[in-house]
Amino acid sequence: MSVEYPATLGMYIGGEWVSGGGRDHHSLLNPATGEMQAELPLASDADLHDALEVAKHGFATWRVEAPELRGAVLREAAELLRERADHIARVTTMEQGKPLAEARGEVIAAAGLIDFHAGEAVRVYGRVLMRPTGMRSLVLHQPVGPVAAFCAWNFPALNVVRKIAPAVAAGCSVILKPSEETPGTAVEVMRCFQDAGLPGDVAQIVFGVPDMVSRRLLLSPITRKLSFTGSVPVGKHLMKLAADTVMKMTMELGGHAPVLVFDDCDLEETLDILVGHKFRNAGQVCVAPTRFHVQEGIYEDFARGFAERTKQIKVCNGLCETSQMGPMANSRGREVLERLVSDARSSGARVLAGGVCGEGRGFFFQPTVIADVPENARAMNQEPFGPVALLSPFASVDDGIREANRLPFGLAAYCFTENGRRQNLLGDAIEAGMVMINQVRATWPDAPFGGVKESGFGSEDGPEGVAAHLVTKTVHVG
Ligand code: NAD
């Protein structure tokens, strides 16, 4: 098994790959070994100035390109992504930590998302309103302008595609700052767009000191839209910066997903589904099920079954064929978990599985199950973003709904019940952008993905994802 990191890192500005030139660097670690594996160039102020000017030019030309051409470029990029999936997946695993099979699945899903947007490129319609005496009004939907996009490291391929594909389909240009922790995947995905024929002034990638990059891009009058995937505090900060030029925004922020498990569910099947889903990507998923509220009558059986299954999970370097869960992506995430678990213990909760770091120099944390976690424990209020399942019992349907809606977040929620009337009630009453009932999949290319409350606004995916890159204009013709 070769352990060489297979990506060459650089920024993509104006159709050129740039690095070196006395720029500052960020050292990239392998989360499974803790070893340094590459150096990433960081943007200077001059780089960002160049990228903005290029994006301005790119928007002027791309917005008038035929939608069919935009679609064709996207389709070709999707094909290249599929061809290169094995290579890209290896890069992802070595910089982010998830098992190779999960990484490959993510790349294939990203290709599917690009294909969907290729189709949407030709489906931006307007409206004609007929008026008396031959007058008419035309309702037009036009691309908003250059987009500044920022995304997190947990889905290094999918998050990048979610920023680039809808912008390109709508006729916008985009400057993307992916995470400095997973740059190699972003670079490989960008190469697919480049090799598919996307003009170098339409999509660009920069890395840098996050606050410096976002200030430079968001305070520029060239930028007309902010698209951000990341935590709630950083999202709020960026919204304030973007307010200065009143730009359009899409905010995909954090969550703290509740799971309501009712006593009429199929318990064994529910446990099989939930345990697998909880520990996907070591729990570092914005829609990860986190607060498991289980109806009193089945609570102890649920807790026992959850802990037994969790202890079977094989944790090791994601490059190993047998790996079911890799390390966490970085050391700070693991430190947060240690503090949250310690706080839960001291507030009287029972740790049924895990609760400790793994061995070795990598950022491993054992899959963890904690029962009887009180409402005021920190983990019940702050997104753990890691492999920790928090369990607590509830009595009535109303109690469950109250618990689900208790926090200021509203991204994903899960319910397990065979009662059809209750399914409808939960679908209506739960405050979340996505409610999954008796299953856990939240991501489909044609369905809007996004949150409510402090989890954000402005969906990605689906026709809504392209619509979020358009502005409406009405032309009244005499
Ligand atoms: P984070 O907000 O600290 O970082 C996310 C990204 O934003 C990173 O690339 C980071 O470099 C960048 N960033 C940080 N400060 C910035 C600034 N001032 N200007 C510009 N960019 C900045 O979040 P994190 O802890 O690294 O990621 C996990 C969080 O992201 C979780 O809260 C998770 O729920 C959320 N997330 C949400 C979604 C979604 O679709 N709703 C998807 C993935 C992750």
Residue among 286, 328, 382, 464 to mutate when testing ligand 1 (max atoms within 8 A of CB):
286
State the DSSP code for 378: G
Q: Ligand 1 pocket, 211 CB below 6 A? A: yes
SS3 state of residue 387: coil
Q: Does ligand 1 lie within 6 Å of residue 385's CB atom?
A: yes
How many Å apart are CA 25 and CA 208, to the nearest integer? Answer: 9
* Angstrom distances, CA of residue 301 to CA of 60, 298, 354, 417: 61, 5, 19, 16
Ligand 1 centroid vs 245 CA: distance in angstroms?
22
Kind of pairing between the strands at 248-252 and 456-457: antiparallel
* Ligand 1 proximity of 101 Cβ (cutoff 6 Å): no
Q: Give the residue numbers annotated as catalytic, written as ranges.
A: 252, 286
Tokens of 164: 């680039």
Question: Do 70 and 169 meet the contact criterion of CB atoms below 8 Å apart?
Answer: yes
Q: How far is CA 72 from CA 22, 119, 188, 463, in A?
A: 38, 9, 20, 18
Ligand 1 centroid distance, CA of 473 (Å): 33
The CA-CA-CA angle for residues 310, 312, 316, to 5°, reads 100
d(CA 311, CA 314): 8
**The pTM is what?**
0.97
Answer yes or no: is the C-beta of 234 below 6 A from any ligand 1 atom: yes
pLDDT in tens, the chain (478 residues): 446 898 999 999 999 999 999 999 999 999 999 999 999 999 999 999 999 999 999 999 999 999 999 999 999 999 999 999 999 999 999 999 999 999 999 999 999 999 999 999 999 999 999 999 999 999 999 999 999 999 999 999 999 999 999 999 999 999 999 999 999 999 999 999 999 999 999 999 999 999 999 999 999 999 999 999 999 999 999 999 999 999 999 999 999 999 999 999 999 999 999 999 999 999 999 999 999 999 999 999 999 999 999 999 999 999 999 999 999 999 999 999 999 999 999 999 999 999 999 988 999 999 999 999 999 999 999 999 999 999 999 999 999 999 999 999 999 999 999 999 999 999 999 999 999 999 999 999 999 999 999 999 999 999 999 999 999 999 999 9
Q: Which residues pair with 130 in a beta bridge?
A: 136
Q: Could you identify the residue written with the tokens 């013709």?
A: 477
DSSP per position, 302-361: HHHHHHHHHHT--BS-TTSTT-SB---S-HHHHHHHHHHHHHHHHTT-EEEE--SB-SSS
Q: Is the CB of residue 368 less than 8 Å from the CB of residue 354?
A: yes
Measuring from atom 18 of ligand 1, which residue has the nearest CA?
211
Which regions of 30-77 does DSSP assign to beta strands (E)? 36-41
Q: Is 255 in the pocket of ligand 1 (CB under 6 A)?
A: yes
Q: Which residue lies with its CA nearest to atom 35 of ligand 1?
A: 230
Query: Can you read off the two tokens belonging to residue 157?
Result: 């391929």
d(C-alpha 242, C-alpha 377), whole Å: 34
Give CA–CA dist 378/347, Å, rounded: 9
